[in-house]
A and B are shown apart, each in its own frame.
Chain A
């Protein structure tokens, strides 16, 4: 099975900062990667699919990049409502797998 490893948690940043979360796959997954945001008590929300495609309704400050084994989720200007846990998920081949999550805190 493919293992997904994310940036250490938590990440602390200030409002307005540019924040990058990394996700590394244990083998080549091409561009078959999604990013989710989850706030406490809520279900996950899809942000990015196919590594860099922005889901409808997601603010443009979120962007994704990468291919192969190394991927990033970038928030260009951190907002208070972005405090959450972020997960990557690969879907190049079953079984799909999630990263362990990266919690983003505001300073």
Chain B
């Protein structure tokens, strides 16, 4: 069964940094695009970034371009999101998702940017 577990969220001041991790289980991680999707409190889903199965292509939402970096370690079935220059508006639950569309969502990890 496909499952993902996100971690690394927390409280950070504006301008700070965090690194999120996602551990993947139950599927051939090497064969799938992976994504970060976020949801701010009371708001809709926002796709943040994704990375091709072999890590040769990465894409970002305009709202995070230049500040966030997505990466993966296929040997460890792990996905990462390095977030720099964090802003109050980056406050959200961050989800790791698998493939082009997915029915396998973790519980997410909460990132709170506040002074």
Residues in chain A within 8 A of chain B (CB atoms): 1, 32, 34, 36, 38, 43-46, 49, 55, 85, 87, 89, 91, 94-101
Given contacts A43-B107, A49-B101, contact A98 B44 (CB under 8 A): yes
* Interface flag for B100 (CB, 8 Å): yes
Contact present for B44 and A96 (CB under 8 Å) = no
Chain B residues positioned under 8 Å from A94 (CB to CB): 33, 50, 52, 57, 59
Would you give the shortest CB distance from A93 to chain B, in whole angstroms? 9
Would you give the shortest CB distance from A9 to chain B, in whole angstroms? 9
Contact present for B45 and A44 (CB under 8 Å) = yes
Would you give the shortest CB distance from B7 to chain A, in whole angstroms? 16
* Interface flag for B28 (CB, 8 Å): no
Q: List 23 A-B contacts (CB under 8 A).
A: A34-B100, A36-B45, A38-B45, A43-B95, A43-B105, A44-B45, A44-B105, A46-B101, A49-B101, A55-B103, A85-B44, A89-B45, A89-B47, A89-B101, A91-B100, A94-B33, A94-B50, A95-B59, A95-B60, A97-B47, A98-B44, A98-B47, A101-B44
Given contacts A43-B105, A43-B107, contact A98 B100 (CB under 8 A): no
Pick the residue among A34, A43, A100 that contacts B101 (CB under 8 A). Answer: A34
CA distance A87 to B106 in the complex (A): 18
CA distance A94 to B53 in the complex (A): 13
Pick the most buried of B37, B47, B52: most chain A CB atoms within 10 A of its CB. B47
Pick the residue among A1, A44, A85, A89 that contacts B62 (CB under 8 A). Answer: A1
